[in-house]
Each structure stands twice: as C-alpha cells, then as structure tokens.
Structure 1
Amino acid sequence: MAPERICVGAIAGAFGVRGEVRLKSFCAQPEAIVAYAPLWTQDGSRSFTLRLTRGAGGGLTARLSGINTREEAEALKGVELYADRDKLPNLPDDEFYHADLIGLEVLDTSGTPLGRVKAVHNHGAGDFLEVTGGAGTLLLPFTKAVVPTVDLTAGRIIADPPGEIGDE
C-alpha cells in the first residue's frame, strides 16, 4: 500500500536569529517544496506552512509557521518534512517515489528471492537499493540494466545483479 505522505525535505538547522531555517529539499525542482504545504513531521504531530526567503550556500532558507526564534528553528534540526501524497505530481512510468520502493520483494531474473528493499540511498552517484534477505545485505545500483522491472502493483522488483554482487 502506498504511504499517505512522502518525505520531500528536511530541516538542516537554523539560519539567522529570527527563526528562519536552512531547508534541504528532496524535490526535483527544490523550490517546488512550497507547493506541497502544509508539510508534516514524520509522526504527523506538527504541520508547517512555509515561505522561501532566499538561497543559502547552494540550499534554501525558509520561514515556517509557528517558528519565530533561532532556538525554535535549531530545535527542528534533522526533522524530515512530509507532504500529502495527493499534492505531489504523478510520475512517469519509469520514475518512482523512494517510499513506494521500500518493502518491495526483490527477485533475480530466474525468480530466486534476494530479499526486500530496506532503503534507497543516493550519495551522489545515483540511487542504490539496499536489499536485505537471507543472503545478507545487497546494494544494487538502481539502473535499468540492474533493475529492469519494477512492478508496484505486484509488489516486486526483478533484478539482474552484476556478477560480483550476486556471487558469494
């Protein structure tokens, strides 16, 4: 089942003394994060509207509703921000929200189970699927060559791991 909310950003810390925050946007167009407000904390206990104020060192700064001091802004450092799924754009067939991939069963091309997607990582060189299962943990490059099939309806991914990944 698709999650009701998708993580679209995180608060990186305070900016200035009047409650602005440094904002890390996970959106393809970073400024688009404003269109998805209100944004929620992961547990849904707080929501914020936001107004972008400026760019800061390659990132964004914003004013969040209800945050008026540096101390309040600093207390939010590391908080992930979630948007209601129905406010997000529909993606093309070959693009996926990370949240939709987590938990999917992963099979190799012969149908042998490899495990389930535990997380999706990106450290600057493209996305990797972290797959955990009976054989331990695999990191699979999320490319068409290694992951030719993602079937959200069936809840599975077909993977063709490179030899050095699949060989023990």
Structure 2
Amino acid sequence: MSTGLGKRVRLGRIVGLYGVQGQVKLESWTEPRIQIFQYQPWLLTAPGVEKEIGGIRGRAQGKGLVATLPGIEDRDKATALIGCEITVSRDVLPPPAPGEFYWTDLEGLEVVTTEHVVLGRVNHLFATGANDVMVVKDGERERLIPFVQGPYVHSIDFDGQRIVVDWDPEF
C-alpha cells in the first residue's frame, strides 16, 4: 500500500479522542474540511510515529471531524496518535484548475526580485486571514513575503522553478 517517497502534502492533524472505541478528532486543512477523507492513504507522523493507513472513514461531528482508523480499536492506541500530522502523496490530489496550484508546488522554488536579486527559496507558506505569506529562506536569513499576486508576486514559472516578486531585498 506504500505510496513511495514522492512529495507529501499536509492535510491536517489528529487533535484528540472521541469516545472509547479508538475514534479520533481531526483538524482538517482541506476545503471543504470533510474532503480530507477523499485523499488516502494517510501517512501519520509525529516524533516516534510514522504509520501509513488507508480505509479511513469519517464524519462531521459538531464543529469538528471524527475519524475511524482501521486497526485502532481502543482509546489507548488512539491516544498515541494525538498530535500526528496527516499527509498524503501529492499524486492522490486532483490536478489543480488552470491558474491554480497547491502550496506544496511552490515549496523549493527560487524567489527573485524584479531586479533579478535572489532572495532565497520558498520554505513554506501560511495563512494569516488577510492573505497568505511565503516564508523565503536564504541560509539563516528568513523573509516573510505576502503572497498577493499582482502587487508582490509578479510571476510563477514552474518550468523555470522561479517566482518573481516586487520586494525590497533589504527588507
């Protein structure tokens, strides 16, 4: 059942227990959040834990999600999974629509200014509510650049592995 060592995409994490039969509560980063169950198998990872599992069933429960994981039938086994990140192989996700992409596709791309100054590579992105932010690293230096297409992000070239931004290299 292994999906190999291809690129992994973070979809959520296990945040708690539900009941006494090994069910777990999830935080999902998919849209809509219930969609997390469509992408399997999951790789659950945390310090000391790495478990690939498929056949997961789940449902909305109040404001959260509850999952039943095959092979996890009691509260003790489920407790060991709290805090695990849920990732899937990039190839189980549907292709993005034209002009769209997954954050993971941006990770590792070189970031340069409109004046061709290399700022580093995209380490990861995060959401702030107002806009998404690219974390660009160059050695020890880290820049937080708003991921706003137009004013800051001028172009994304996946073939050339480069993002061009309008950003002050000193900032």
CA deviation profile, 1:30-63 (whole Å, cap 9, x unmatched): 111111122123586422321113324x221111
Aligned to 2:163: 157
Identity %: 35
CA deviation profile, 1:55-108 (whole Å, cap 9, x unmatched): 24x221111111111222221112112223232111123322222211111000
Aligned to 2:68: 63
Q: Measure how far apart 1:119 and its partner are.
A: 1.5
Provide structure 2 residue ranges, at least 5 long, that are not aligned to the other structure.
Answer: 1-5
| Contact 2:34–2:60 (8 Å) recurs in 1 | no
Change (3 A) 1:18 1:135: closer
Change (3 A) 1:41 1:27: same
Q: Please state whether the residue corresponding to 2:95 is helix, strand or coil.
A: coil
Q: Measure how far apart 1:29 and its partner are.
A: 1.4
Aligned to 1:48: 54
Change (3 A) 1:35 1:104: same
Q: 1:83 and 1:132 mapped to 2: Cα distance?
A: 25
Structure 1 length-normalised TM = 0.84
Instruction: Please say which of residues 150-159 and 121-130 is displaced more in the overlay.
Output: 121-130
Change (3 A) 1:136 1:150: same
Q: 1:15 and 1:53 mapped to 2: Cα distance?
A: 12
State which of 20, 26, 36 in structure 2 corresponds to 1:23: 26
Q: 2:54 and 2:35 mapped to 1: Cα distance?
A: 15
Q: 1:108 and 1:74 mapped to 2: Cα distance?
A: 47
| Contact 1:9–1:81 (8 Å) recurs in 2 | yes
Q: 2:137 and 2:106 mapped to 1: Cα distance?
A: 13
Aligned to 1:10: 13
Aligned to 1:118: 123
Q: Measure how far apart 1:139 and its partner are.
A: 0.5
Provide structure 1 residue ranges, at least 5 long, that are not aligned to the other structure.
Answer: none
Q: Measure how far apart 1:18 and its partner are.
A: 1.5
Aligned to 1:141: 146
Q: Does 1:77 align with 2:82?
A: yes
Q: Please state whether the residue corresponding to 1:46 is helix, strand or coil.
A: strand
| Contact 1:108–1:160 (8 Å) recurs in 2 | yes
Structure 2 length-normalised TM = 0.83
Q: 1:155 and 1:62 mapped to 2: Cα distance?
A: 37
